[in-house]
Amino acid sequence: MSQLKKIPDAEFEIMKVVWSNDPPLTTKIIMEQLGNEKEWKAPTVISLMLRLVERGFLKTEKIGKERTYFPLVTKEDYLKFETGNFIKQYHGNSFVSFVNTLYDGKELSEKDLDELMKLVKERRR
């Protein structure tokens, strides 16, 4: 995985659509699944996608008159990167602090805690 950088929310919205579809993607596909919902015009979507190409998240190829896009960064890699940065910045790299904040805020259910305990036991083996 190359050196990832945080992407703005609008670009992340584009990437969520990219990750949920089989490549190659076109601007038309993005517009159908996101642009109309967000009331973005085609030039806005094209601009966001070109920024993602410049940042190394997408590669693009021109086939005839149509430009197609392929993901270069997986959803899993980006979420791992973002989550790691969040825990480092806000919780001093402490997973316990992160979980404790969720627990104190009543964000974790008993089921969540059971699953977390199961995960911890599996990882210890």
pLDDT tens-digit map of 69-115 = 999 999 999 999 999 999 999 999 888 888 888 778 777 788 988 99
**CA of 79: how far to CAs of 17, 19, 62, 82, 83, in Å?**
15, 12, 29, 5, 6
Which pLDDT does position 108 carry in this prediction?
A: 77
* Strand partners of residue 69: 25, 60
What does the pLDDT look like over 16-63, one tens digit per residue? 999 999 999 999 999 999 877 888 888 999 999 999 999 999 999 998
Which pLDDT does position 98 carry in this prediction?
A: 85
Closest CA to 51 of 19, 11, 6, 2: 11
Taking the CA atoms of 8, 101, 19 and 27 in sequence, report the sign of the dihedral they define.
negative
Which pLDDT does position 120 carry in this prediction?
A: 87
Which pLDDT does position 2 carry in this prediction?
A: 53
81 token code pair: 């990167």
Which pLDDT does position 29 carry in this prediction?
A: 92
Other CB atoms within 10 A of residue 12 CB: 15
